[in-house]
């Protein structure tokens, strides 16, 4: 076994090198994952992942493990989001996740970081143990759904059109659930050209919206204004997006367990629950 002693930021690591390491680390993952450099670049832009706040575990020039961190603010970040942790199979068994955090949490504290958040698949016990040992605790359970959306005839009084410049302050008021990092308005806006947002209009008023990442057909957000609920608007939006994206399976991740009605809505539209995750956080202001 080659032991890793060197931990530093990913400041000088190329996208290609990072992509190769990512794919090696996730080659035997619970959910199959394979990225191309361009998809990794999209992910990094959408989630605001920053190499200077991300961690690498190196053996010489070989990257054996990594933690990709996003920041809530480019100038004075207070929150980091772990958008991906991976260890290449050859380097496992060295507690690298814990070692990376042991090395960098004191640095983050000095930089003014107050909190780190992440999501982890609920059955991934080694990862949960590594995060717990690094000071993280569970904050909520979130569910993921995927499947072919049933296409049926939508209500005649709902008109749906794409909006390339949505009124996000208005649309944000439609949400009941606090979205996880990659589904926030900020992430949707950063994804820009890769994400489409359609709005449902009734009598000239915006009644609901859906935002979908076009390449992966992953729904980033769907919400209906409170006064327009239970009128088939969510179903019409979902069907419209499925038709526009030419009928492949769609997915949505990170539905808070405290909103079971959203899960029921997705199931009734033809999507199935396929995994659950824990959202976890590490409060650096209080942990030592």
Report residue 163 as tokens.
């909006």
pLDDT tens digits for range 134-166: 999 999 999 999 999 988 766 668 999 999 999
Residue 287 has pLDDT above 60, yes or no: no
pLDDT tens digits for range 185-222: 999 999 988 999 999 999 999 999 999 999 899 999 99
Domains of the chain: 6-113 (3.40.630.30), 145-277 (3.40.630.30)
pLDDT tens digits for range 52-97: 999 999 999 999 999 999 999 988 999 999 999 999 999 999 999 9
Pairing of strands 250-256, 137-147: antiparallel
What's the whole-number mean pLDDT along residues 236-263? 94
Check residue 135 and give its pLDDT: 96
Report residue 53 as tokens.
């706040």
Residue 226 has pLDDT above 90, yes or no: yes
Check residue 87 and give its pLDDT: 96
pTM, entire model: 0.92
Burial (CB count <10 Å: 0-12, 13-18, 19+), residue 244: middle
The backbone torsions φ and ψ at residue 284, rounded to the nearest 5 degrees and listed phi first, read -70, -25
**206: which strand partners?**
201
Q: Which of 142, 97, 134 is nearest to 254 (CA)?
A: 142
Check residue 248 and give its pLDDT: 86
């Amino acid at each position: 076994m080659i032991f890793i002693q060197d931990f530093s930021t990913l400041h000088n690591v190329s996208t290609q090198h990072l992509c190769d390491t990512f794919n090696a680390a996730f080659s035997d993952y619970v959910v199959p994952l394979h990225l191309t450099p361009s998809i990794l670049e999209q992910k990094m832009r959408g989630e605001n992942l920053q190499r200077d706040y991300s961690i690498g575990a190196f053996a010489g020039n070989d990257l054996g493990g990594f933690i990709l961190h996003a920041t809530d603010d480019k100038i004075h970040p207070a929150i980091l989001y772990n958008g991906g942790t991976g260890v290449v199979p050859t380097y496992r068994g060295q507690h690298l996740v814990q070692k990376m955090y042991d090395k960098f949490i004191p640095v983050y504290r000095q930089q003014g970081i107050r909190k780190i958040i992440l999501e982890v698949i609920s059955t991934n016990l080694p990862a949960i143990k590594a995060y717990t040992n690094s000071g993280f605790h569970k904050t909520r359970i979130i569910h993921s759904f995927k499947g072919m959306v049933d296409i049926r005839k939508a209500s005649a009084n709902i008109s749906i059109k794409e909006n390339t410049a949505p009124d996000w302050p208005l649309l944000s008021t439609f949400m009941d659930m606090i979205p996880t990092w990659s589904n926030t308005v900020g992430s949707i806006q950063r994804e820009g050209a890769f994400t489409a947002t359609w709005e449902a209009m009734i009598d000239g008023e915006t009644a609901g919206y859906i935002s979908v990442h076009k390449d992966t057909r992953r729904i980033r957000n769907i919400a209906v204004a409170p006064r327009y609920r239970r009128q088939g608007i969510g179903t019409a939006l979902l069907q419209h997006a499925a038709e526009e994206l030419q009928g492949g399976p769609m997915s949505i991740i990170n539905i808070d367990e405290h909103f079971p009605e959203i899960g029921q809505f997705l199931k009734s539209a033809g999507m199935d629950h396929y995994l659950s995750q824990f959202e976890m956080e590490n409060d650096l202001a209080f942990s030592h």
